[in-house]
């Protein structure tokens, strides 16, 4: 496959040398992209894992590198399908190669300061954006960082991309073709199935951040076999009535590597991204920045970053980065929460309350039980958060498995993996108190546990008829990386912070 020549390289601690074309180098040198050097990948996480101070800048380079590897691997394994069934030419593949790389490089250019930690401060979309169903009330959604990325590409980078001399004379790639692989809308030119490389079950984004975050945090949870996955990706034909595009799939020989990637993401969330102190700092950071943004505004509800759909405001948004926020926090503009961050006086974890959703009855019982705990703790609770994500989207985007030799569809990953069918069950509510009240709150919680144990022995309900677990069991969230689920329950671990129903406390 012919494509634009790689003319320079950047050394990466994860991938070695990352090659760049002339156009990519021009984009990287632009101030709007250089801003990513001043936005930390994991926000305040380096206050827990000191090495985790890496930036969105290096992550974006890594995503582009992996995206190119995946693209080239799909072409190498499925060239006949792409050319004979879907009418690709060498020139067409070369053109899409560059579009995929640009989309991967720029997918995070719209992040707010401290990445996901302050994205709740992105503004709400206008009501008129939701008039597809006249007469029906539509919820007003919030802008996402992808919306900002799209706006920045189409407003700031469009001329640079479209007027690049080589691109103008040859590929004629437009900015909207790049954003089509990032935005939730039909593509302008590049085949939509390449979007799976940018955002999907095995996308380049998570492939890079798992390895990179694991490296910088100094943990092993995010490691997986990248080379095996790259060697196993391919394109598979789909029935014409279903789609005119192929779909990116994985060979059965790489199924275990794909499963390991998903479990690596699960463990990184459990051990790093959902770390008790990180979640507390995210809470303080959001409120501190909200306080900064609310200065001079009559209502706190107006405390949002500038909008992406108005050019002047978009340019103002690009002035916000971690450095600016840290300076304002140091000057005391973050209020109580900003002061807590600067003094490391964050809220302390009291307990972790498990919520099971494997059945409707278990969801109802566990939710009722947890509310009873919160009611008993009362005003001691300063913050409670229940982070939740889908580890594997078996219904919406199940990975297609194909036979290694014939490349014919053999089924879906969830059909072969019991782990993928059960990995989404359950979540945890983290309950916090002020540092001065944390010991008392923990003692009250332990007292509730002891009362429950006594009542169970006497067969008497407590807490309004909602039973607490008799004891804290520190079981592993995932027993093993196997297609067959394990029934083993590890011995309870010694810990300072109580936990309900087998939820392991990280750190």
Sign of the alpha-carbon dihedral angle for 195, 197, 202, 207: negative
> Rounded mean pLDDT of 413-434?
92
Q: 144, exposed or middle or buried, with CB in 10 Å at 0-12, 13-18, 19+?
A: middle
Entry field: residues in the chain: 507
Q: What mean pLDDT, rounded, does the chain reach? A: 86
Residue 6 and residue 19: Cα distance in Å, rounded? Answer: 6
Q: Report residue 277's pLDDT band, with 50, 70 and 90 as the boundaries.
A: very high
Quick check: 249 and 402 in contact, CB under 8 A?
A: yes
Q: Give the pLDDT band (50/70/90) at residue 396.
A: confident
Give how far Cα 281 sits from Cα of 60, 172, 183, 216, 330, Å.
25, 46, 30, 19, 16
pLDDT digits (tens, 9 = 90+) for 338-355: 999 999 999 999 999 998
* Neighbour tally for 407: CB within 10 Å: 18
In the CATH hierarchy, which fold is given to the domain comprising 8-277? Hypothetical protein af1432 (1.10.3210)
pLDDT score of 453:
77
The pLDDT tens digits for 172-200 are: 999 999 999 998 665 555 567 899 999 98
Could you give the CA distance from residue 237 to residue 408 in angstroms, rounded to a whole number? 8
Q: Is the dihedral of CA 112, 146, 423, 214 positive or negative?
A: negative
Q: How far apart are CA 137 and CA 119, in angstroms?
A: 25
Q: Which residues does residue 16 pair with via DSSP β-bridges, in sequence order?
A: 12
R_g (Cα) of the chain, nearest Å: 25
Beta carbons within 10 angstroms of residue 25's beta carbon: 12
Q: pLDDT at residue 489 above 50?
A: no
Angle at 49 between CA 507 and CA 425, to 5 degrees: 50
Say what the pLDDT of residue 464 is. Answer: 53
Cβ proximity of 23 and 161 under 8 Å? yes
pLDDT at residue 497, rounded to an integer: 44
How far apart are alpha carbons 28 and 216 in whole angstroms?
A: 22
Q: How confident is the model at residue 131 (pLDDT cuts 50, 70, 90)?
A: very low
Region 476-502 average pLDDT? 37
Least confident of 260-269, 328-337, 374-383, 482-491: 482-491
Q: Are strands 247-251 and 8-12 parallel, antiparallel or unpaired?
A: unpaired
pLDDT at 460: 58
Q: How far is residue 201's CA from residue 256's CA, in Å, rounded to a whole number?
A: 14
Q: How confident is the model at residue 358 (pLDDT cuts 50, 70, 90)?
A: confident
Q: Among 375, 358, 368, 363, which Cα is nearest to 461's?
A: 368
Helix (H) or strand (E) run with residue 448 in it: helix 438-457
CA distances from 424 to 222, 356, 427 (A): 18, 10, 8
Domain with CATH 1.10.3210.10 in the chain: 8-277
pLDDT band at 247 (very low <50, low <70, confident <90, very high): confident
Range from 97-106, 217-226, 239-248, 356-365 carrying the lowest mean pLDDT: 239-248
What stretch of H or E contains 281? helix 276-293
Among 67-71, 242-246, 388-392, name the one with the lowest average pLDDT. 242-246
Largest CA distance in the chain: 83
Q: Give the residue-averaged pLDDT of 24-48.
A: 97
pLDDT of residue 93: 93
For residues 44 and 118, is the Cβ–Cβ distance under 8 A?
no
What residues contact residue 70 under an 8 Å CB cut-off, 6+ apart?
197, 202, 204, 230, 233, 248
Please tell me the distance from the alpha carbon of residue 249 to that of residue 237, in angstroms, as a whole number: 10
The pTM (predicted TM-score) of the whole model is 0.87
- d(C-alpha 263, C-alpha 271), whole Å: 12
Q: Are 193 and 245 in contact (CB under 8 A)?
A: yes
Rounded (10°) angle between helices 255-268 and 204-217 = 50
Picking from 278, 275, 24, 264, the residue whose alpha carbon sits closest to that of residue 161 is: 24
CB of 119 closer than 8 Å to CB of 282: no
Predicted confidence (pLDDT) at residue 461 exceeds the cutoff of 90: no
- Alpha-carbon distance of 260 to 214, in angstroms, equals 14
pLDDT above 50 (res 115): yes
């Amino acid at each position: 496959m012919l494509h634009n020549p790689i003319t320079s390289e950047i050394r990466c601690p994860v991938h070695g040398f990352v090659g760049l074309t002339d156009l990519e180098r021009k984009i990287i040198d632009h101030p709007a992209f250089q801003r990513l050097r001043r936005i930390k990948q994991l926000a305040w996480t380096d206050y827990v894992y000191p090495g985790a101070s890496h930036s969105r800048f290096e992550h974006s380079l890594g995503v582009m590198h992996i995206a190119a590897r995946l693209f080239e691997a799909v072409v190498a394994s499925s060239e006949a399908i792409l050319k004979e069934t879907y009418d690709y030419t060498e020139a067409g593949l070369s053109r899409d190669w560059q579009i995929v790389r640009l989309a991967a490089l720029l997918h995070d250019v719209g992040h707010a300061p401290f990445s996901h930690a302050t994205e709740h401060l992105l503004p709400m979309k206008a009501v008129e954006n939701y008039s597809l169903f006249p007469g029906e009330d539509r919820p007003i959604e919030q802008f996402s960082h992808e919306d900002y990325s799209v706006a920045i590409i189409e407003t700031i980078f469009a001329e640079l991309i479209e007027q690049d001399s080589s691109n103008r004379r040859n590929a004629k790639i437009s900015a909207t073709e790049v954003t089509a692989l990032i935005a939730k809308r039909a593509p302008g030119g590049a085949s939509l199935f390449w979007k799976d490389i940018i955002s999907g079950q095995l996308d380049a984004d998570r492939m890079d951040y798992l390895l990179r975050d694991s490296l910088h945090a100094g943990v092993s949870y995010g490691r997986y076999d990248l080379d095996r996955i790259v060697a196993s990706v391919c394109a598979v034909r789909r029935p014409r009535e279903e789609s005119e595009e192929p779909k990116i799939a994985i060979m059965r020989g790489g199924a275990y590597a794909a499963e390991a990637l998903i479990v690596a993401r699960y463990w990184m969330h459990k051990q790093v991204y959902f770390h008790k102190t990180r979640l507390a700092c995210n809470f303080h950071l959001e409120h501190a920045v909200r306080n900064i943004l609310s200065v001079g505004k009559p209502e706190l509800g107006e405390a949002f970053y500038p909008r992406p759909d108005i050019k002047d405001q978009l340019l103002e948004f690009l002035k916000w980065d971690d450095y600016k926020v840290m300076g304002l926090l140091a000057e005391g503009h973050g209020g109580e929460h900003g002061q807590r961050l600067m003094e490391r006086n964050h809220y302390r974890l009291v307990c972790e309350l498990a919520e099971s959703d494997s059945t409707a009855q278990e969801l109802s019982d566990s939710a009722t039980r947890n509310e009873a705990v919160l009611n008993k703790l009362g005003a001691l609770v300063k913050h409670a958060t229940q982070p939740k994500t889908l580890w594997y989207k078996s219904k919406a985007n199940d990975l297609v498995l194909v036979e290694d030799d014939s490349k014919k569809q053999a089924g879906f990953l969830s059909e072969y993996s019991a782990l993928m069918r059960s990995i989404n069950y359950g979540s945890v509510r983290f309950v916090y108190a002020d540092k001065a009240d944390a010991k008392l709150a923990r003692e009250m919680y332990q007292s509730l546990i002891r009362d429950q144990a006594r009542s169970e022995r006497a067969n008497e309900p407590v807490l309004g008829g909602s039973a607490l677990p008799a004891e804290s069991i520190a079981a592993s969230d995932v027993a093993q990386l196997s297609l067959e689920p394990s029934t083993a329950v590890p011995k309870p671990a010694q810990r300072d912070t109580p936990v309900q129903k087998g939820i392991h406390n990280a750190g």
